[in-house]
Chains A and B, each alone.
Chain A
Amino acid sequence: MSTHDITVTINGAATSASVESRRSLADFLRHDVGLVGTHIGCEQGACGACTVLIGGRSVRSCIMFAVQADGAEIQTVESLAPGAEMHPLQEAFRRHQGLQCGFCTPGMLLRSLELINDNPNLTAEEAREGISSNMCRCTGYQYIVDAVLDAAAEMRAEEG
């Protein structure tokens, strides 16, 4: 199995590694870099649990090869709370119970962040449509929608 040398920026830190051609980005992040917050729900690109941001855009890391990410800026769920404080989006998910088992949550958070960054004034309908890319089997989605709207409002206020 051939390997490739790649250099990526993960949560702001430059990382070089040698990866097998068939190593998925999700496995690379989880098992080579040790960022296990990126969850694998289907390995079919369907459920969205493995969502990460590359250049600010949501990507299914289970169906992308690590080698394809060479040179990319990758953001995983671990970036949202680098210190002791959680991100406003995480706080909003907690306030509204936008999670139960927590397995879809990292992907759902990053997709939600992308939606808010794209449109800080998004409506409930836009939030609902926007997160329909990501499956959750526990919550019934409403409290995720509520959390996204609440977080967007808070982030707008912080932006001033």
Chain B
Amino acid sequence: MSGSSGPSVGAPPAARYVGQSVARLEDPRLLTGRGRYVANLVPPGTGHVAFARSTRARARITRLDIKAAAALDGVWAVWTAADLNPDVGSLRGSLVLPGGGGPPDHLLADGDVRFVGDPVAVVVAVSPAVVADALELVEIDYEDQTPVLDFETAAENNNLVHPELGSNVSNSAEAWPTTVDEAMAGADTSVRAVITQNRQANAPMETRGLLAEWRAFDETLDVWISTQSPHETALAAARTLGLAVHQVRVHMGDVGGGFGQKVFLGREEFAVMVCARRLGRPMRWIEGRSENLTSSNHARRDRADVSLGATADGRFVAATIDHLEDNGAYSNGGNPGNGRMACVHLPGPYRIGSVGWRTATVYTNTCGRGAYRGPWQIESVARELIVDMLARRLEIDPLELRRRNVLRAEDLPHNTATGLTYDRISPAECLDQVAEMIDYDGFRATQREVRATVGASLAPGERAPGAGSLPGIGVAVYVEPSAIGFGALATEGATVRVEPDGSVNVYAGTGSHGQSLETTIAQIVADALGVHPGNVRFHQGHGTPYGFGTGGSRSAVIAGGAARAASAGVRAKLLRIAAELMEASPDDLDLGGGAVAVRGTPARRMTVAEVAQAAYMRPDALPDDISGGLEHTARFKAPPVTYSNAAHACTCEVDIATGEVRLLRYAVSEDCGAMINPMVVKGQIAGGVAQGIGGALLEEVSYDADGNPLTTTFADYLVPSAAEVPSFEFGHIVTLSDSPGGHKGTGEGGAIGSVPCVFNAVADALAPLGVRLTDGPLSPHRIRTAILEAAG
């Protein structure tokens, strides 16, 4: 680390609050309806913005008539590509991944449209009602063209989504040594499957939205926005509008979820800022739910052709993945491709001597792909499904097969065949713990009895007499690359300031949107300064040190590291000032309970408030080299990656007659290192698991044969309700990371492990019927179809 925390002064802080399930500091306002969400802001004179969007997947615009809309009473502006596109610079995000190659930037569709939802015109009006009326008056005529909808054939399709790019393949990469094919050919057994994952939507409960105001004679753009990254918002807004970053003030209130969707700005958000600048008034856009489900971003549409070779006794010798992902028309943030990331993580927590991979990203005339909680998770889906298929082939129990291959403490550090180095992980321990928690052996025994009674009388399509459900158990293990730290992601900054009255403010470059950073960062700072977390106020957005924001399971490690470094600097200063004032050595001071005391002489003490008051108001009483004040800014540079790991296990019943899946129990054993707040960790995992359950069983964005979205409401796009989600049980293995505090990220893992875990449980239930499941979601229809196909 490079945190400039200054010289070490006094004893290290005691962990009084870190590690405790401190009640969340953000809760009282959120529970009482006093949350500060962006939709609450409607200053006088606000213009309401809406977008006329393409109703065609692919078409040339033959006529675009905005006259009637513009003439409507209360309409302030109607603008098209011709008006706005020349005004804007690059729309790409600041994080440019290798092998990029997105489509050309343009704010509004120009001449043609490339997916249903493509914004064609922007309308600004005096009220939401008038803007809705005006949208109806924007007339667009199209000449339809054949859309590219099937991502599996897009690469070979001469019909191009973006003709100017010359190919439907946006990027590709591979590392497939010939030795892999030899190892696979030499394996006693190998299994292969083509797994396709259903297209999913982040679907945060709060849609995207912002209020932007250009202050003309101040030459300043104020932006209040629902975001995961206020600094990315400022950088991108400045680039797009041709401003200096200090002309953009990004304010962040409460954010109603994001799950990856709100890291980068979308075209609509840029357009609202452009409107604000042109009109010189506050501009408000709150995305509608149908817009969010069809035009913000989609995710997870992957195909993995995966193979796994093993010895007769089940030792993995080779694995390959040929991966393809659907990028849609325009990727969110301008960076297509999670494929490389997915492929290099294929080995997961297993010893596999030889691995080959290939990946390609293709454009289609659909909503663009964006990040969604564990964007690379197809690696876990592909690997954990093929492991279970191999287990069935070898007639070895899937848990036992995993135990034979999982990395153990003595294997670490471990270099994967794909060039990763794992250390400080505990997949074998988590696997054992989760098997115990779910009573794996007990379930298997019961399952054998049920299978004997149900399985004996099964006819295709018929409910077995007496019992129509088959029980199944699934396991999934993975290693999660949390807190990835390169380029723009590598560092976070924080400023900690003790005010003259002893109250504490901390300013971070994060974008907490449900992750509880207001509490967990306060816990870290409180321990360092010997105060109560309730005495620490947490701030994000304008005025904070640059940071990439919250996403990628990064805040605990990287922002936590920054807060730790900044508060250590303040602590050192506080102790030196107190020592000077009390004529003691800093090494003899104890800091805690809001006071500094001379060890062994409790009567000699000063409150933190008294020391702070002196720091600001009595500069002459301070040590000569301290100029006053009680504040420190530090940056933390993260290691390239901090691996966390987990094992999931769940049990289910599958109704053979209806294809309905009922989850019975769900257990997770997680190693996220030292937990800052165990309650928050549980919440992060539970929420991720629920999303994965949705991804495995329910959620599927779908289009018709013409490219019209069919899932435009929450009545069509099925996010799990409480009725579909079981209770969770959690176990923890603690292996400290090498970051200060020993933390690891845990925001995404729940959503990564749960999809293959549920898939495997369902496949296990149906194994006696010879059913093979490779495509999600496992809807009743898909399961019934698979049962009937297996029955011939």
Q: Residues of A with Cβ closer than 8 Å to B? A: 1, 20, 22, 27, 30-31, 35-44, 46-47, 49, 76-78, 80-81, 86, 90, 93-95, 97, 99-106, 109, 128-129, 131-145
With A and B bound together, what is the CA distance between A43 and B290 in angstroms? 9
Is residue B390 contacting chain A, with contact meaning CB distance below 8 A? no
Partner of B32, one of A27, A90, A95, A131: A90
Q: Do B689 and A97 touch across chains, with their CB atoms under 8 A apart?
A: no
Stretch at the interface among B440-448, B569-577, B717-725: B717-725
Q: Do A44 and B289 touch across chains, with their CB atoms under 8 A apart?
A: yes
Q: Do A78 and B289 touch across chains, with their CB atoms under 8 A apart?
A: no
Q: Do B40 and A46 touch across chains, with their CB atoms under 8 A apart?
A: no
- Given A41-B206, A43-B288, A105-B721 contact (CB < 8 Å): no
- Given A41-B289, A106-B33, A132-B723, A100-B28 contact (CB < 8 Å): no
Is residue B514 contacting chain A, with contact meaning CB distance below 8 A? yes
Ordered by A's residue number, 16 sampled pairs between the chains whose C-beta atoms are within 8 Å are A37-B33, A46-B714, A81-B31, A93-B27, A97-B682, A99-B27, A101-B205, A101-B513, A102-B256, A103-B37, A103-B256, A105-B30, A132-B722, A134-B721, A140-B689, A140-B728
Is residue B515 contacting chain A, with contact meaning CB distance below 8 A? yes
The 0/1 profile, CB within 8 Å of A marked 1, for residues 507-543 of chain B is: 0000001111000000000000000000000000000
With A and B bound together, what is the CA distance between A132 and B724 in angstroms? 8
* Interface class of chain B by DSSP: loop
- Given A46-B713, A77-B32, A135-B719 contact (CB < 8 Å): yes
Given A94-B24, A131-B721, A132-B724; 6 other pairs, CB 8 A cutoff: A80-B32, A86-B32, A100-B683, A101-B254, A128-B722, A140-B683
- Given A37-B33, A94-B24, A101-B257, A131-B722 contact (CB < 8 Å): yes
With A and B bound together, what is the CA distance between A22 and B723 in angstroms? 34
CB distance from A19 to the nearest CB of B (A): 12
The count of A-to-B residue pairs whose CB atoms sit within 8 angstroms is 171
With A and B bound together, what is the CA distance between A101 and B514 in angstroms? 4
Partner of A77, one of B33, B288, B689: B33
Partner of B33, one of A46, A76, A99: A76
Partner of A137, one of B24, B37, B691: B691
Partner of B206, one of A76, A103, A128: A103
Instruction: Determine the residue in chain A with the shortest Cβ distance to B685.
Output: A140
CB distance from A16 to the nearest CB of B (A): 21
Instruction: Determine the residue in chain B with the shortest Cβ distance to A92.
Output: B31
Partner of B686, one of A78, A93, A140: A140
Q: Do A94 and B31 touch across chains, with their CB atoms under 8 A apart?
A: yes
* Interface class of chain A by DSSP: loop
Residues of B contacting A102 with CB < 8 Å? 26-27, 30-31, 35, 254, 256, 514
With A and B bound together, what is the CA distance between A131 and B31 in angstroms? 17
Residue among A31, A100, A136, A142 with max Cβ neighbours from chain B (10 Å): A100
Q: Do B33 and A137 touch across chains, with their CB atoms under 8 A apart?
A: no
Q: Do B205 and A137 touch across chains, with their CB atoms under 8 A apart?
A: yes
With A and B bound together, what is the CA distance between A7 and B254 in angstroms? 32
Residues of B contacting A76 with CB < 8 Å? 33
Instruction: Determine the residue in chain A with the shortest Cβ distance to B34.
Output: A37
CB distance from B134 to the nearest CB of A (A): 14
Q: Do A129 and B722 touch across chains, with their CB atoms under 8 A apart?
A: yes
Is residue B679 contacting chain A, with contact meaning CB distance below 8 A? yes
Is residue B39 contacting chain A, with contact meaning CB distance below 8 A? yes
Is residue B259 contacting chain A, with contact meaning CB distance below 8 A? yes
Partner of A141, one of B33, B256, B679, B722: B722
Residues of A contacting B40 with CB < 8 Å? 30, 36
Residues of B contacting A145 with CB < 8 Å? 722, 727
Residues of A contacting B516 with CB < 8 Å? 100
- Given A101-B513, A144-B722, A37-B206 contact (CB < 8 Å): no
Q: Do B42 and A35 touch across chains, with their CB atoms under 8 A apart?
A: no
Is residue B680 contacting chain A, with contact meaning CB distance below 8 A? yes
With A and B bound together, what is the CA distance between A133 and B691 in angstroms? 17
- Given A78-B32, A97-B682, A137-B687, A43-B26 contact (CB < 8 Å): no
With A and B bound together, what is the CA distance between A93 and B24 in angstroms? 11
Is residue B306 contacting chain A, with contact meaning CB distance below 8 A? no
With A and B bound together, what is the CA distance between A97 and B25 in angstroms? 11
- Given A103-B206, A139-B687, A129-B257 contact (CB < 8 Å): no
The 0/1 profile, CB within 8 Å of A marked 1, for residues 717-748 of chain B is: 00101111101100000000000000000000
Q: Do B289 and A42 touch across chains, with their CB atoms under 8 A apart?
A: yes
CB distance from B651 to the nearest CB of A (A): 16
Instruction: Determine the residue in chain B with the shortest Cβ distance to A79.
Output: B33
Is residue B175 contacting chain A, with contact meaning CB distance below 8 A? no
Instruction: Determine the residue in chain A with the shortest Cβ distance to B684.
Output: A100
Partner of A39, one of B26, B128, B206, B255: B206
CB distance from B98 to the nearest CB of A (A): 32
Partner of B23, one of A44, A95, A144: A95
Q: Do B32 and A129 touch across chains, with their CB atoms under 8 A apart?
A: no
Q: Do B680 and A97 touch across chains, with their CB atoms under 8 A apart?
A: yes
Residue among A38, A76, A102, A103 with max Cβ neighbours from chain B (10 Å): A102
With A and B bound together, what is the CA distance between A106 and B31 in angstroms? 7
With A and B bound together, what is the CA distance between A28 and B714 in angstroms? 23
Is residue B603 contacting chain A, with contact meaning CB distance below 8 A? no
Q: Would you list which residues of chain B between 158 and 217 have a CB under 8 Å from chain A?
A: 203-207
Is residue B129 contacting chain A, with contact meaning CB distance below 8 A? yes
Is residue B452 contacting chain A, with contact meaning CB distance below 8 A? no
